[in-house]
Amino acid sequence: ILNVEQSPQSLHVQEGDSTNFTCSFPSSNFYALHWYRWETAKSPEALFVMTLNGDEKKKGRISATLNTKEGYSYLYIKGSQPEDSATYLCASSTGGYNKLIFGAGTRLAVHP
C-alpha cells in the first residue's frame, strides 16, 4: 500500500448503534498512526496517536487498535450519538519531521 486509505467513505447509523472504520497504511518505515475527528467548520481534533504494534487506546466511547505489521488500524465507536457525526481522518507518519500523510476520511452521520 503506497497511500493511506480509509473505508468506508461514508457511513450512516442510528443513534445507539456501534460502528467501526478502517485505516490502511504503508507498514514499511512506519513511525506513528494518528486519528483525528473533524466537525464541519471546526479544526480537526486529535483523538489518538499510536506507535506500537498491538496498541489499543480508548477515549470515552471511542477506541482504536493498531497493527503495524499488516498496516491497518480500526476505530470503534460504541453507542453512537448524534454529536459523534463528523469526518474521521487517519494519518500515518514515517519519521523525518514526522510529517503526516492523510487518508480521505470516513464521514459518519448518526441519526436520532
Partner 1 sequence: GAVVSQHPSRVICKSGTSVKIECRSLDFQATTMFWYRQFPKKSLMLMATSNEGSKATYEQGVEKDKFLINHASLTLSTLTVTSAHPEDSSFYICSARDVVRSSNYGYTFGSGTRLTVV
Q: Considering only CA atoms, which of 28, 7, 17 is closest in space to residue 112?
A: 17
Residue matched to cell numbers 500523510: 101
Other CB atoms within 10 Å distance of the CB of residue 27? 15
Pick the stretch among 12-20, 22-30, 67-75, 101-109 that binds partner 1 (CB under 8 A): 101-109
**Most distant CA pair in the chain, distance:** 44
The answer to whether residue 97 forms part of the interface with partner 1 (CB under 8 A) is: yes
* For partner 1, the closer CB: 19 or 106: 106
The region of 18-26, 65-73, 77-85, 102-110 touching partner 1 under the rule CB under 8 A is: 102-110
Number of amino acids touching partner 1 (CB under 8 A): 24
